[in-house]
């Protein structure tokens, strides 16, 4: 605590000659504030104690607070969506923020598949860039950087969506925001804070988790490299903590490939991240929608490698563990030869399905493909029941791929699968008394089971046997 106060005092002393009021970079011209919320506005003053008055032009009702040791913060009530507006921030000097919109704000984070932009390339990228003129979509891009302790500010600038700004922004985030903007006719603010190649541990605030020892233990299994520091919180401190007071509608997350190195820990570390971020924002109900990692040939066509399958299983089980979560399945739009699949449009659209249905209640469409519900054993057959079947199951092709069953010997064999309503009946000549089922449970599995809504079924397993 003393260290933080000293740092703040040095910060203030360095600027005291200017006699200024400062704001974090995320509170600036062109930003989007969360509608119908108590948007947190905060900053610093070279006067250690003074009255700060903030007024939004939507109602011209001033809100007051006092700086304490040079830092101040207040809650500014926002109306339903609209704009543009101005915001006046007045102390011994006045700042006027312009071109402010009120709408829906989402934080996009993860590793390279979230970071991936048109500059990196994806399907029809140049055509998408040319069409990216959406003045009511705003971007805030946080550059990749890390620190050993939580920071008060981060670089970044709010920009309107144009072909030039969209080219450098998260493609998945953009396509999600475009879908919301078009379906809801509402301003959308998108904050991109992602870093390719990073594991979940460095995005998690070590001091805010129930078991920091577990977090450290997991991080030690991540190989050292020159791209990032593997210590818990390294990315969080610099790229999440500085914006945590900013009011948002929810989180979007696309990450997991880098946790193949310690996949078994992901069952605990991924829910830990979600809970810790919600705690930082002071809202345990904030939606958290995420992407299940796609099939990819990490080990030269080795169907026995299961590290990514374990990560997918942990992602699936997180939906059962935590409320207000939703998962996008991508096993039908992956690319075994490219860890960055090109169809970013569909990933963004599927994330938007969750938000439109579960957050905004504007769609009756089921946002998910089939998810495992239960298993029954009848003689030599296993009957697997699914939820989110949207009126039934369907397969692309004559035979259903990637189902396996095992008996007490724990040896899995390919299963013959038949669709029966919202169930799949499984059998194998090699397994007379099945006890477990796995579906698409390998790094390179390419299943072909879908719901009637055209969304793919998630990989799953019914056993909890240790996987080497």
- CATH 2.60.40.10 domain position(s) in the chain: 2-102
- Residue carrying structure tokens 């950087």: 145
- For 284-301, what is the mean pLDDT? 92
Which residue spans of the chain are classified as CATH 3.40.50.1110? 104-359
Fold for domain 104-359? Rossmann fold (3.40.50)
Across the chain, mean pLDDT equals: 94
Task: Retrieve residue 184's tokens.
Answer: 């809801």
383 pLDDT band (50/70/90 cuts)? very high
Residue 390 has pLDDT above 90, yes or no: no
Q: What is the pLDDT of residues 319-328, one digit of tens each?
A: 999 999 999 9
- Read off the pLDDT of residues 106-161 as tens digits, 9 standing for 90 and up: 999 999 999 999 999 999 999 999 999 999 999 999 999 999 999 999 999 999 99
Residue 298 banded pLDDT, cuts 50, 70, 90: very high
Q: What is the mean pLDDT of residues 226-236?
A: 96
Q: In this predicted model, what pLDDT tens digit does every residue of 253-281 receive, in sequence order?
A: 999 999 999 999 999 999 999 999 999 99
Q: Assess whether pLDDT exceeds 60 at residue 92.
A: yes
Percentage of residues of the chain with pLDDT beyond 90: 91
Say whether pLDDT at 18 is over 70.
Answer: no
User: What pLDDT, on a 0 to 100 scale, did the predictor assign at position 391?
Assistant: 83
CATH number of 2-102: 2.60.40.10
pTM of the model: 0.95
Q: Check pLDDT > 70 for residue 16.
A: no
- Checking if the pLDDT of 4 tops 90, the result is no
The CA distance from 131 to 167, in Å, is: 11
pLDDT band at 244 (very low <50, low <70, confident <90, very high): very high
pLDDT at 8 over 50: no
pLDDT attached to residue 110: 98
Rounded-to-10 torsion of CA 443, 448, 450, 453:
110
């Amino acid at each position: 605590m003393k260290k933080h106060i000293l740092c703040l005092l040095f910060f203030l002393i360095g600027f005291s000659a200017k006699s200024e009021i400062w704001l974090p970079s995320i509170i600036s011209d062109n930003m989007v504030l969360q509608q119908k919320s108590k948007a947190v506005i905060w900053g610093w003053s070279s006067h250690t104690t003074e009255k700060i008055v903030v007024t939004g032009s939507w109602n011209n009702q001033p809100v007051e607070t006092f700086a304490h040791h040079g830092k101040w913060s207040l809650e500014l009530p926002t109306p339903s969506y609209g704009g543009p507006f101005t915001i006046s921030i007045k102390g011994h000097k006045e700042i006027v923020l312009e071109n402010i919109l009120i709408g829906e704000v989402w934080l996009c984070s993860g590793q390279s598949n979230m970071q991936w932009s048109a500059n990196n390339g994806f399907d029809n990228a140049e055509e998408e860039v040319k069409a990216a003129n959406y003045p009511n979509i705003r971007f805030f891009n946080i550059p990749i950087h890390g620190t050993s302790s939580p920071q008060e500010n981060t670089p970044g600038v709010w920009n309107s969506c144009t072909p030039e700004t969209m080219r450098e922004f998260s493609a998945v985030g953009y396509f999600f925001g475009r879908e919301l903007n078009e379906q809801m006719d509402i301003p959308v603010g998108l904050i991109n804070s992602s870093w390719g190649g990073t594991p979940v541990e460095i995005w998690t605030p070590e001091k805010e988790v129930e078991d920091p020892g577990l977090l450290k233990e997991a991080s030690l299994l991540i190989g050292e490299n020159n791209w990032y520091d593997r210590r818990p919180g390294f990315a969080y401190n610099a790229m999440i903590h500085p914006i945590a007071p900013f009011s948002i509608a929810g989180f979007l997350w696309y990450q997991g490939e880098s946790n193949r190195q310690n996949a078994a820990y992901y069952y605990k570390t991924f829910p830990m991240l979600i809970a810790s971020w919600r705690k930082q924002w002071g809202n345990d109900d904030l939606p958290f929608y995420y992407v299940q990692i796609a099939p990819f040939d990490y080990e030269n066509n080795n169907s026995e490698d299961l590290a990514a399958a374990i990560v997918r299983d942990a992602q699936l089980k997180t939906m059962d563990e935590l409320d207000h979560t939703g998962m996008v399945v991508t096993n039908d739009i992956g690319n075994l030869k490219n860890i960055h699949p090109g169809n970013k449009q569909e990933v963004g659209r599927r994330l938007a399905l969750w938000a439109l249905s579960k957050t905004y209640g504007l769609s009756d469409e089921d946002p998910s493909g089939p998810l495992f519900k239960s298993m029954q054993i009848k003689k030599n057959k296993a009957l697997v029941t699914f939820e989110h079947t949207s009126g039934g199951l369907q397969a692309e092709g004559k035979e259903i791929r990637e189902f396996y069953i095992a008996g007490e010997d724990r040896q899995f064999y390919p299963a013959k699968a038949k669709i029966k309503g919202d169930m799949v009946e499984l059998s194998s000549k090699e397994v007379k008394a099945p006890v477990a089922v796995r579906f698409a449970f390998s790094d390179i599995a390419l299943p072909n089971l879908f719901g009637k809504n055209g969304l793919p079924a998630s990989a799953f397993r019914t056993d909890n046997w240790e996987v080497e």
